[in-house]
Structure 1
Amino acid sequence: MHSDTHLLLHHLRAAELAAETRTALPREPRALRARLGWILVELGLRLTQQAPHRQARLA
Structure 2
Amino acid sequence: MHPDTHLALHHIRAAHLRNEADTYRLAKATRHPRSLRTRLGWTLIEVGLRMATAPQPAAVIP
Q: Same fold (TM over 0.5)?
A: no
TM-score range, shorter chain: 0.3 to 0.5
Relative contact order (alpha carbons < 8 A, sep ≥ 6): 1 or 2 greater? 1
TM-score normalised by structure 2 residue count: 0.40
Instruction: Specify the structure having the higher radius of gyration (Cα).
Output: 2
